[in-house]
Chains A and B, each alone.
Chain A
Amino acid sequence: MTDQKRPAAVPARPRAISRRGLLQSAAAFGLASGAGGLLLPGVARAQEVPQSGGTLRAGILGASSNTNDPALRQDEFGVMAAYTTFNHLVEIAPDKTLAPELAESWEAAPGAKEWVFNLRKGVEFHDGRTMTADDVIYSINRHRGEASQSGAKALMAAIEEVEKLGSHQIRIRLASGNADLPWNFSGDHMAIVPDGFDNWMKPVGTGGYVQTSFEPGVRATWERNPNYWKEGRAHVGEVEFLVLNDPQARIAALQSGQIDALGLVDPVAVEMLKGSGAAQVVNSAGGQFWSYAANCKLAPFDNVNVRRALKHGIDRQKILDIVLRGNGRIGNDQPVAATDPLFNTELGQTPYDPEKARYYLKEAGLDGLSLQLDTSDATYAGSANVGQLYRQAAQEAGIGIEVMRQPADGYWDQIWLNPSRQMTSGVWMGRPTVDMLMSTIFAGDAPWNEAFWSDPRFDGILVEARAELDPAKRKEMYWELQSIIHADAGHVIPVFADFIDAYSPRVRGLMPTPSWYLMGARFTERVWLAS
């Protein structure tokens, strides 16, 4: 019941930031939190000089089964711990571009099948060893091969060979071209660890903090890494994660000043927290969306008109207003966020229109429709209530929805992706690239094709776009893919939900970061504490 988020979060592709989308993103680096945003004391301002020291305490979702092993990391704890202890080859920078981290530069051969990465020199692990190509190759190969147990196995499957060219240079050969390959190394699974390392109770990385204690499911502590190679990062003296899972207790801990940072804040709490003065709330609009996937292999959902009826039978604005309390944007049944540069701006918004839904049902030869919708707190808190809103709206269109609330444990492996289910709910945190997003959920052979939808034309364009290096052609192809999904796929995507974080008043350096909660999971490295 504590698992409010889906664990497979790779930071979403971040470009623009404003939650009102394209209209405001032109206004450059605006704050996502809307009205109150600029007034927050903690939001980064140029003239302020970061202070060092202090103890940063964060309330984090976790469990006794958590580990520091990036391959098997679980829960919010695993993600946040990964970015605190380790570095990665690349980093999604606060200015939403792909920035070098442990890789200084990279280059693709034409066709994007061969990539060379030049590694940073003089970087020390916490145990004093210097990082070389061997460490990086070990860190990548941990996720590959028969025996791999890693959550990034599918992501790394396209790699055919990782080769050492020099002490600080590697070459990666892919089975097929992928222009977005470097983005794959920004995810938390892909942390760089020393060659041969496997003592996950005492992790060794190159990150800004050295882990000093770890009690799975209870707490973990870090001290600042005195030899940290990055300039102007990791200001805090000590970091402490407290595992807090109960929703009320989490908010109470922040209100009563026992923690400084809290991700995954319930939208209901936003107004109250802002009003109380006890916390700074930061909204980051990004790629997180909720999904209802109708099973396209199952009658009557194999009929596209039925799917269109379902898309017209949902009142998106009401879900945004009531459940998200306005902390997000309405969706348009395609997965690319309005904040993404590849977002198709010419796609018409599907409205809530019961009449139209009835029309489509009639087109499909149906008088009415009744179906079962599976929801679970495993997806997001209150998912069953959102289902109720869908039920209420769809009723007007002659669609009867029976909303089932399935137990959180067992939802992902028993209910979701079960071919006998009519419609399941899900949540996606976004992916660093549009290609990753679509190949994970919408390609015919996608591992998490939750709607069992497949379209050969879609699959063809997707593969073509992946190897395309020309930006204009890429854009054209991705726009086309979005419009296919919008019109045809089994997905109803009601809303994109902001990442909402809250911090105590003494935290400084805050910045909306669209890739994930708590500043794209890099808050420990980026914030400082005012004395």
Chain B
Amino acid sequence: MSLHDITAPPLRAPGFARLPVLAAAAFCLACLAAAVAAPVLAPHDPADLVALPWQPPGDGFLLGTDQLGRDMLSRIIWGARVSIGLSAAITALAFAFGVPAGLAAAVLGGWADQAMSRTVDLFMALPPLILALLALSVTGTSLVTLTLVAAFLAALRVFRLSRALGVDLATRDFVDIARLRGEGTLRIAACEILPNAAGPLIAEAGLRFVFAFLFVASLSFLGLGVQPPMADWGGMVRENAGALNYGGIAPLVPAAAIALLAISVNLLGDRAAGGRTGR
């Protein structure tokens, strides 16, 4: 995969395209605000039973109640904290380890590259859900193990991309010139390659953030997600999925929150990536 594959092109036609980007930014900010100020914003304690289960929206509960009769709005607001916090931590960890390792492998080449790449290949040779299932079965589920396992799996993919970007860039002329100038490997990686790889990496960060979200949701499906009464949005979809069979809308609320945030982050990531590469 080459460096262009991941990035969507920038949205052209400024007048029309700006609106979605602005909306996306607004939604992201709102989610962030909810995550930060959850204790102030939430009308109820997210773990308290305040009404009958699966009440429709309205009547004092803006988004209705969940399968136990807890206020859905409050749970969405607190869920933002869990979901966003978890995904952000996973993404940050994945990049903190994946990018330096990937670029180092690309620049160093030789046996170091081989060793790192083949190790990554080994762990990527299993479907991530299965690997997570195995790992979490071994370690037990907690917020920490969940984050570490998901971050590890994401880091593998970040490594792959960074290395691919690095290899591609390393064959470019400006790197050869830097080499001729006698610059050290580290310096080449940091000053020549990293800035040129920044665009795709930022877009990738957006994607990874969204995938982390969905990944945690999938783990919730397999019963390995966040511990109640805390709930991430994916877990809330799962908890309330039963309502679908009875014509209820409870699971649609967290599902919509996930979709909106994912789309917004994607849009912003693409925008930022487009901006960086100057396209």
Q: Which A residues are within 8 Å of any B CB, using their own CB?
A: 1, 247-248, 251-252, 255, 266, 268-269, 272, 318, 322-323, 377, 384-385, 387-389, 391-392, 403-410
B68 in contact with A272 (CB, 8 Å): no
B110 within 8 A of A: no
Q: In the complex, which residue of chain A has the Cβ closest to the Cβ of B245?
A: A251
Question: Contacts A268-B67, A407-B223 hold; do A248 and B49 have CB atoms under 8 A apart?
Answer: no
Chain A residues, CB < 8 A from B244: 248
Q: Are the CB atoms of A388 and B68 closer together than 8 Å?
A: yes
Cβ contact within 8 Å between B229 and A388: yes
User: Given the complex, which residues of B lie within 8 Å of A269, measured CB to CB?
Assistant: 242, 245-246
A410 x B137 contact (CB < 8 A): yes
Q: Is the pair B224, A392 in contact by a Cβ cutoff of 8 Å?
A: no
Query: Are A407 and B137 also in contact (CB < 8 A) when A251-B245, A272-B245, A388-B229 are?
Result: yes
Q: B246, A272: Cβ atoms under 8 Å? A: yes
Q: In the complex, which residues of chain B have a beta carbon less than 8 angstroms from the beta carbon of A392?
A: 47-49
Given contact pairs A391-B47, A403-B229, a sample of 7 additional A-B residue pairs in the complex whose CB atoms are under 8 Å apart: A248-B244, A268-B242, A269-B242, A269-B245, A322-B68, A405-B228, A410-B137
Residue from B48, B141, B242, B245 in contact with A255 in the complex, judged by beta carbons closer than 8 Å? B245
Tell whether, in the assembled complex, residue B69 and residue A409 are in contact, meaning their CB atoms are under 8 Å apart. no
Query: For residue A402, which residue of chain B has the nearest CB?
Result: B227
Q: With A388-B68, A407-B140 as given contacts, are A248 and B245 in contact (CB-CB < 8 Å)?
A: yes
Q: Is the CB of B223 within 8 A of A388?
A: no
Digit string of B185-223 for contact with A (CB within 8 Å is 1, else 0)?
A: 000000000000000000000000000000000000011
Closest to B244 in A: A248
Contact A322 B49 (CB under 8 A): yes
Q: Given the complex of chains A and B, what is the CA–CA distance between A405 and B224 in angstroms?
A: 9
Contact B242 A322 (CB under 8 A): no
Report Cα–Cα, A408/B244, bound state, in Å.
24
> Which residue in chain B gives the minimum CB-CB distance to A272?
B246
For residue A387, which residues in chain B have a CB less than 8 angstroms away from its CB? 228
Whether A403 lies near B222 (C-beta < 8 A) is no
A sample of 6 inter-chain contacts (CB < 8 A) reads A1-B223, A248-B244, A322-B53, A384-B227, A387-B228, A403-B229
Interface presence of B3 (CB below 8 A): no
Residues in chain A near residue B108, CB distance under 8 A: none
- 5 closest cross-chain pairs (CB), A and B: A1-B223, A272-B246, A384-B228, A405-B227, A388-B229
In the assembled complex, B272 has its CB within 8 A of some CB on chain A: no
Distance between B152 CB and nearest chain A CB, rounded to angstroms: 19
Q: B241 contacts the other chain (Cβ, under 8 Å)?
A: yes
Shortest distance between the CB of A428 and any CB in chain B (Å): 22
Is B136 located at the chain interface by the 8 A CB criterion?
yes
57-105 of chain B: CB within 8 A of chain A: 67-69
Contacts of A403 in B (CB 8 A): 227-229
Using a CB–CB distance below 8 Å, which chain B residues touch chain A?
47-49, 53, 67-69, 136-137, 140-141, 222-224, 227-229, 241-242, 244-246
Distance between Cα atoms of A256 and B242 in the complex (Å): 15
A150 to B49, CA, bound (A): 44
With A1-B223, A407-B223: A248-B136 Cβ-Cβ less than 8 Å: no
Chain A residues with Cβ below 8 Å from B227 are 384, 403-405
Q: Which of A251, A272, A377, A391 contacts B223 (CB 8 A)?
A: A377
CB distance from A279 to the nearest CB of B (A): 12
A61 to B255, CA, bound (A): 28
Q: Which residues of A contact B245 (CB under 8 A)?
A: 248, 251-252, 255, 269, 272
Chain A positions within 8 Å of B242 at CB level: 247-248, 251, 266, 268-269
Cα of A255 to Cα of B247 in the assembled complex, Å: 13
Q: Which residues of A contact B229 (CB under 8 A)?
A: 388, 391, 403
Residue from the list B47, B140, B222 in contact with A388, Cβ < 8 A: B47
- Contact assessment for A389 and B49 in the assembled complex, using a CB-CB cutoff below 8 Å: yes
Q: Nearest Cβ distance between residue A248 and chain B, in whole angstroms?
A: 6
Chain B residue, CB-CB nearest to A275: B246
- Smallest CB–CB gap between A220 and chain B, Å? 26
Taken together as a complex, chains A and B put the C-alpha atoms of A322 and B55 apart, in Å, by 13
Shortest CB–CB separation between residue B257 and chain A, in angstroms? Answer: 20
Contacts A269-B245, A408-B223 hold; do A388 and B228 have CB atoms under 8 A apart? yes
For A247, A252, A266, A272, the residue with the greatest tally of chain B CB atoms inside 10 Å of its CB is A272
CB neighbours (8 Å) of A408 from chain B are 223
Query: What's the Cα separation between A58 and B239 when bound, in Å?
Result: 25
A4 to chain B, nearest CB (A): 11
Note all chain A residues with C-beta closer than 8 A to B48. Answer: 392
Complex Cα distance A408/B223, Å? 8
